[in-house]
Amino acid sequence: MYIVLRPESAGGGGRTVEEKQAPDSGKEGRKRRRQGDGAQEESEEKGADGGHGKEEVNIEDQPLLRLVVMGRKSLPDPAKHSRPYWGYVELVTTKVDDIKDALKEEEYSTATRGKRHRAAARALGEGVYRIVKHESESGSGGRRRSPRPHTHLVYKLELPSTRGAMEPQEAMNVEPEASFLVQVKNPDPPSGGRDGGFRGLQSKRRAAFPAHLQDAFGGRRYAPADPPDLLNYEGCELLLIAASDDVEDELGLQLEGEVEDGEGEGVETPQGALGCSDLVKMFGEVADVKPLLSGSWD
């Protein structure tokens, strides 16, 4: 499963500048070198390195896109509070075409499996999201401990309309709204201890955070996604843990998007949704958008 996250300024004092990996690192850098003036083919090994370095991006002037790959073909089920789902940041870029290339149909070859085919991605949902810092008191036997800060990834779908069928979304645990605890894995974990049962990426593919971001771990194996800039590095590994399917009840937070039911034709028909969808405008030519527009596979 793919998740594309695009941070946007919240206005009224919200962050307008994000820190990301250097543009010459990771897959982002490899793509730029290939698109250069007659640059020779880069090796697969070099192109697989994780993000490193630093670049500041004004997200009001240009898009910042994160492509997250989940290790399973669905999201965690908020109703079951199952074990964490592992994923990683595959690509960070300011170029929409880079994400298009990652989502489109492709024929490729591998040394071990020969020729392979990857189908085009299918869009299941579009909405608004936030990464919020939260504190809760935890303990055992009725004893209360000091608040433990953590971060939630929360979202609310704008498309497809919840008034219609949502067969693909239900199959993939994509609820109309949901909240997940999100934890970032230390790319240089301390020796000893348990690693949660997740093998993860090879060391060369892991993110190499600048010192001030690496300090967020404080010697721990996992840390909250605080600051969210941690997610702006390819090779950043993360865990999603189901928390709730009612964001307002859990966090007292109301998510409001640009597309709302009841605005004329709005999103009640595929035609109305087509005109409202930023996802379709950006990626519609390479991704199958039927599940997004109609709430069905066909």
Inform me whether the pLDDT recorded for 192 exceeds 80: no
Q: Look up residue 215 and give its DSSP letter.
A: G
Q: Average pLDDT, stretch 288-298?
A: 86
Per the listing, tokens 């698109």 go with 35
What 3-state class would DSSP assign to 1? coil
Q: Is 147 exposed, middle or buried (0-12, 13-18, 19+ CB in 10 A)?
A: exposed
pTM: 0.85
The fraction of the chain above a pLDDT of 90, given in percent, is 51
CA separation for the pair 288, 233 (Å, rounded): 27
**Could you tell me the pLDDT band of residue 224, with boundaries at 50, 70 and 90?**
very high
Output the six-digit token pair for 71. Answer: 């290790």
Write down the mean pLDDT value for the chain.
83
User: Minimum mean pLDDT among 18-27, 130-139, 172-181: which range?
Assistant: 130-139
Domain ranges for the chain: 2-294
